[in-house]
Structure 1
């Protein structure tokens, strides 16, 4: 197995814990965008999860620096954890924007983005669980699912921004919502980035 030594388990378990943290963050995000009524509270909770994600990243980097033989190439592990960190940073950044940009009303597009992100996060966690088992067929299947969700994110961004230019008369409102929609689409891109690295790992070890 890829992770068959006790030291390997640290890397595997930490990456799985990081994906669990992302799942929790995305669930909070989806709950938040349903109404945006408690956006300050959710922003604080997301910030705490973002700090927790940083701790996972630092732990893996620390272990990489003192471990000569690792379950995957050092570079691949570093890419995976950095992209996981980017996913969480992107979700937290969007939640913070609801507060400091004074977004007080949700939209159907925000709710749909929340659903796409939650599905992506659950697939991502499944992929890291499959990695330890060398379940490469599942990883390939998940990569296809996340690619499909990324395409859905692209479509949502185009539709949401088109709607803004058709319906929004306040230029400030248009600017801030356009930025948020683009940021959310960027998070769906980062989910796909993680899977691109994982598929390259599978090609090395299959």
Structure 2
């Protein structure tokens, strides 16, 4: 897949492609949340993308084991790959919950979470493209945007869970939706964790 690429390019391009894989996953997730009518099919597609994400992580680890001089610290490259995988694992877990928790009806809060996650993914992709170009100013800009989205998601989680306790009479529905909203907010936390690693890279290499 990386024939004729320099070693530096292998690392950067793998991370960019992994981030692009997350954008695709978040787009599918948002489409899924619009109706939840085909949640089983979407869960399968997201699982395939999650497996693809694992492959990107393995490529980075393999190249780290085979490369003497890396374009940045090994720990930074590994952290970036692992944190990317965490974001993808989180959204795939949410799609699976729709299926085994029998969530059959979308909500405005679910749609808002899905839209925030899609924006986070787009910012992450742009940040990794900027990393390959060593455009550290742009990375910092995207980090700020992701942090703002995480703050919004935190407020949305409190609002959505608070609304459940006011409006939901079925305790089973309350429990499963509360867990789902909290899990979605956790995905934005993972995106912020990744953004923080990117920020530390900027501070180290800019």
| Shared fold, TM over 0.5 | yes
Report Cα offsets for 1:59-83 as digits up to 9, x if no partner: 1101111111101100001111101
TM-score by length of 2: 0.97
Deviation (angstroms), 1:154: 0.2
Residue aligning to 1:94: 94
Matched position secondary structure for 1:71: coil
Match of 1:198 in 2: 198
TM-score w.r.t. length of structure 1: 0.97
Deviation (angstroms), 1:185: 0.3
- The secondary structure found in structure 1 opposite 2:44 is helix
Are the aligned partners of 2:130 and 2:136 in contact in 1 as well (CA < 8 Å)?
yes
Task: String of CA shifts for 1:23-57, please: whole Å, max 9, x gaps.
Answer: 00000000000110000000000000000000000
Structure-1 residue corresponding to 2:135: 135
Kindly state the Cα deviation for residue 195 of structure 1 after the two structures are TM-superposed.
1.1
Aligned-partner Cα distance in 1 for 2:69–2:180: 42
Mapped to 1, the partners of 2:196 and 2:77 lie a distance apart of: 13
Q: State the match for 1:70 in structure 2.
A: 70
Distance 2:101 2:66 in 1: 43
The aligned counterpart of 1:156 is 156
Structure 2: gaps spanning 5 or more residues: none
Q: How many Å separate the matches in 1 of 2:71 and 2:171?
A: 52
**Cα pair 2:28 2:42 within 8 Å, conserved:** yes
C-alpha distance in 1 between matches for 2:75 and 2:60: 12
Aligned to 2:84: 84
RMSD of aligned Cα (Å): 0.8
Instruction: Map 1:159-198 onto structure 2 (within 5 A).
Output: 159-198=159-198
Q: Shift of residue 158 of structure 1?
A: 0.3
Question: What count of residue pairs does the alignment treat as equivalent?
Answer: 202
* Mapped contact 2:13–2:132 kept (Cα < 8 A): no
Question: Alpha-carbon deviation of 1:159?
Answer: 0.4
Which consecutive residues of structure 1, in runs of 5 or more, have no partner in the other structure? Answer: none
How far the C-alpha of 1:119 sits from its partner, in A, is 0.4
Matches within 5 A, 1:45-60: 45-60=45-60
